[in-house]
Amino acid sequence: MPEGDAVYRTAKRLRQALDGRRLTRSDFRVPRYATADLRGRTVLTTLSRGKHLLTRVEGGLTVHTHLRMEGSWRLGPAGRPAPRGDVVRLILANIQWQAVGTRLGMVDLVPTDREERVVGHLGPDLLGPDWDPALAVRNLLRAPQRSIGEALLDQRDLAGIGTIWRAETLYAARMSPWRPVGSIPPDELEALVAVAHRLMDASKDAPLPVTTGDPRPGRSLLVYGRARRPCRRCGGPISGGEMGPQPAERLIYWCPACQRD
């Protein structure tokens, strides 16, 4: 699933193609909004909120989309045929550019002044202007019995972290993903969310997540996807597995030697 930095980059690309331009095509291919027509309205902006996208248009309306596991927004010249074989959910176009939303997990059309209906449940956005680390820590502590690895994926606590940034953050902080949140001193939680923010912010304008300083394939990440390979710190083998309740287990990678409970 695309994480907060990838969604941030998607919002940036959509702004470059759509902002300030009048829509000449609006094609909602979801039953609930099949008759919705935004043609003639000017796109004001597109914002990211965690893993959600909010495209605001003239007249007080917002198009809310979520990529989920397989979704994407593809940009190209106006009039280009939609990609074959893809499940197109939404097309927004102007006289120059066309944005095609394929396999989108969520598509909603809501009044702009009621965007909280679709994103109000989210915790503070790691890449948002309203990033509030103190609130993120308080949110994490609401369920002290949870493991920190599970808590970091709860978008109600802080928005934007997925399996990649969870693994990279915990490794950089030398913290075991299995450690109960309630056993972590507040200053360590504050340091942890600061690490998450620093790592994601540093990668938000890069093509792919980079935490090692080396963007080459296979060398860009500290721990994610490196099961059975040597730890970059101690040389011991990296562990890989799944964590979380069934059937929603998610991949986790960690160094048992460096990330102790």
Q: Is residue 204 annotated as a catalytic residue, yes or no? A: no
Q: Is residue 74 annotated as a catalytic residue, yes or no? A: no
- Choosing from 9, 51, 166, 204, the catalytic residue is 51
CB 160 within 8 A of CB 47: no
Q: Is residue 3 annotated as a catalytic residue, yes or no? A: yes
Q: Is residue 250 annotated as a catalytic residue, yes or no? A: yes
CB 131 within 8 A of CB 124: yes
Here the tokens at position 101 are 């939303």
- Choosing from 12, 103, 250, 256, the catalytic residue is 250
The number of CA neighbours under 13 Å toward the Cβ of 251 is 13
Separation of first and last alpha carbons in the chain: 28
Here the tokens at position 14 are 């959509």
Q: List, in sequence order, every beta strand (DSSP E) within the chain.
A: 25-28, 43-49, 52-57, 61-66, 72-77, 88-93, 97-102, 106-111, 239-243, 250-254
Write the CB contacts of 220 (distance below 8 Å, at least 6 apart in sequence).
208, 209, 210, 211, 212, 214
Angle at 120 between CA 114 and CA 124, to 5 degrees: 135
User: From residue 173, how far is each of 67, 73, 147, 180, 254 by CA, in Å?
Assistant: 29, 33, 15, 15, 11
Place of tokens 């990838």: 6
Active-site residue numbers? Answer: 2-3, 51, 250
